[in-house]
Structure 1
């Protein structure tokens, strides 16, 4: 990996982290605990279609680790990591079959997989299947958030192609 590529990845990681921290500081407009837009995922979806899988994974890992530090909530790292791994693996698979014009669909499915990963982590950590009742609501809101972030990533990709 050359210096230019490493610098690009570092900048994308920083942008994702900044967006993540800003989103933490904005009061949640949704009356549902735990629901958020996940705006930092715009960077992830963009990177998924512009960089190698390992490079995208590095961006996600940096955002996860530093996000846990900057948010002051390291215990949330387990939930975030479970969601991020499921999301990233699913979107990497989808990237192989979906055309670039359907990034929004990849993002929706990625958001849903993120929610499934988080709920799976919650079931394991809390040793209770009761949290699964929260999954349908998370899947609906996650789909909407995934659509928004996917459309933003699509716009970003189209603009930066020029």
Structure 2
């Protein structure tokens, strides 16, 4: 792929992820889970993963979507920013690693692993830095269930887009 085309594609994914990150804060959740987000801003990160853009580009998209989305929503450097940032970086690393190293994992498997490790990392960071209590780990099963649903939706979106782009 031409370098300019690749840069344009990565910029589009970053802009899309940032916009979704901002707007999903306004979407009501079907369950009353404090601090939970839909996680739809991860589908552009997943898209970069399955298109083989590697660690640096995928993590950079995750980094920028969290920074830009948090700046736009006024949540920069808040506890929710810290949790979202950690989850985004960890999940993007795990997704690229899984896609490169686990044969036949597929888009759904990559997305589910990313969601799981995002949730685990967020609970660990919350326990150490935010609430400073291991009691927060009771929250993890709810996050994992909700994350699995979001990961399924994200993988479905990416699969449809990828099919249409691949011809």
TM > 0.5: yes
Residue of structure 2 in register with 1:128 after alignment: 133
Q: Please show how residues 1-20 of structure 1 align to structure 2 within 5 Å.
A: 2-20=3-21
Counterpart secondary structure, 2:40: coil
Q: Deviations over 1:12-35 (max 9, x none)?
A: 111111112221222223222223
Q: Please show how residues 55-66 of structure 1 align to structure 2 within 5 Å.
A: 55-66=57-68
Give 5+ residue unaligned stretches, structure 2.
none
Please state how far the C-alpha of 1:2 moved relative to its aligned partner. 3.1
Residue of structure 2 in register with 1:23 after alignment: 24
Residue of structure 1 in register with 2:118 after alignment: 114
Give the structure-1-normalised TM-score: 0.91
The two structures, once aligned, show a CA RMSD in angstroms of 1.7
Which structure carries more relative contact order (alpha carbon 8 Å, separation 6+)?
A: 1
Which among 52, 55, 76 is matched to residue 54 of structure 2? Answer: 52
Give the structure-2-normalised TM-score: 0.88
Q: Please show how residues 56-95 of structure 1 align to structure 2 within 5 Å.
A: 56-74=58-76, 75=78, 76-95=80-99
Please state how far the C-alpha of 1:54 moved relative to its aligned partner. 1.2
Give 5+ residue unaligned stretches, structure 1.
none
Q: What is the alpha-carbon distance in structure 2 between the residues aligned to residue 88 and residue 77 of structure 1?
A: 16
Counterpart secondary structure, 1:30: coil
Count of matched residue pairs: 161
Q: What is the alpha-carbon distance in structure 1 between the residues aligned to residue 98 and residue 23 of structure 2?
A: 29
Please identify, of 15-24 and 30-39, the stretch whose mean Cα deviation from structure 2 is larger.
30-39
Q: What is the alpha-carbon distance in structure 2 between the residues aligned to residue 98 and residue 119 of structure 1?
A: 29
Segments of 4+ moved more than 6 angstroms? none
Q: What is the alpha-carbon distance in structure 2 between the residues aligned to residue 133 and residue 72 of structure 1?
A: 29
